[in-house]
Amino acid sequence: MGIQGKVVVITGASSGIGAATARLLAAQGAKVVLGARRTEKLAQLVAEIVADGGVATCAAIDVTQRGDMVRLVQMANAQYGRVDVLVNNAGIGTLAPFDALDVDAWDAMIDVNVKGVLYGIAAALPVFRAQGSGHIVNVISTAGLRIVPQQGVYAATKNAVRTITEALRQEAGPALRVTGVSPGFVKTGFADRMPDGPAKAATLASMDDIAIAPESIARAIAFAIEQPADVDVGDIVVRPTAQG
């Protein structure tokens, strides 16, 4: 029970929900192993956590590369002797109507949001099975719960992860735990990859008006992790009170 001493691997950890989760779990005594593409931000985060008395390490990874996910999990296992939790947090989103035919963006969302999660599962499961315990936390989205125009492909990738999460939970058996966390509108860099235009402007305006802090999602993840080993928190939805 609890978070103290647990080894937690987090993808997409250089900013937003991933960084907030790393800070919170490290403050509660977890050993966090952080992966992302932006090495400078990762290094800064690790230095911050260590300066505050926490334990953290990092590696540059791309979740669309299966070998990178294996390397990240194996690094954590080699350094700390086990892996207790994998937080599949890395994700991207592009909002556009289907008529825009932004097929490259569709491919990127499928590669990161779906295949990235599967690669994380494939890397962690053998370690979890060998040690007889483990916990996979998949960060999903409320976009898959309420379908709206311009979010069709993004929502589809998140609903794919929702299906993967529930199927894995049912297959996991009594020794493994599986949790899906669906954030609503959160103050992150979600809009950074969007092209300039009305959709991006509307997203940024809504973010300023109603979005909640990434720490709100980090607390939900911590809640699932800190439960006793025989308690599986299957699904958590966290959204702003102002979100429709």
* Alpha-helix residue ranges (DSSP H) falling in 33-189: 39-51, 66-80, 103-109, 116-131, 152-172
Active site residue 154: yes
Residues 106, 119, 128, 154: which is the catalytic one? 154
Q: Using an 8 Å Cβ cutoff, are 216 and 238 in contact?
A: yes
The token duo for 75 is 């690094």
Outline where DSSP puts E strands in the chain: 7-11, 31-36, 55-60, 85-88, 134-139, 176-183, 235-238
At 179 the three-state DSSP class reads: strand
Distances 220 to 1, 135, 176, 185, 237 between C-alpha atoms, Å: 16, 14, 19, 15, 9
The strand pairing partners of 7, in sequence order, are 31
Q: What residues are labeled active site?
A: 154
